[in-house]
Amino acid sequence: MNSTLLDHYITIRNSHIGFVCASGALFAARGLGVLAGAAWPMEAWVRRLSVAVDVLLLTAGLTLWTLLGLNPAREHWLGAKLVLLLFYIVLGSLALKRAPTRRHKALFFMLALALFGFMVTIALKHNPAGLLAS
């Protein structure tokens, strides 16, 4: 990599990490708000903000994927993270609005947060076993 490309890599990587933090924090705040019975977590501007942060997160991730020439079939940690992302989206949807009861919402919220944290450990270790890797 030349220095210009490396400069872009660092900026994109740091942006991706920042969007991961922002996305997780926003989901956690919205989930706590839903469990508290507040209306704000489902207001249009909050949902739009959440979508915007997640689109930026995915864009930065896809840019890194392309820039580094990653292949989820070859880089098993990336493949695992992408599969778990689908489960996280489903759990998050159940936690915020689709689960029938507050108790179910709380369960799905805790599962989504745990899965989010596990996905972070996969990314940090570049290992599909994440924090379970030796």
> Does residue 10 register a pLDDT over 70?
yes
> Does residue 6 register a pLDDT over 60?
yes
Supply the pTM of this predicted model: 0.93
Average pLDDT over residues 44-49: 98
Q: How far is the C-alpha of 19 from the C-alpha of 129, rounded, in Å?
A: 23
> Does residue 81 register a pLDDT over 70?
yes
**Spacing of C-alpha 42 from chain mean position:** 19
C-alpha dist (Å) from residue 133 to 53, 101, 130 = 30, 36, 6
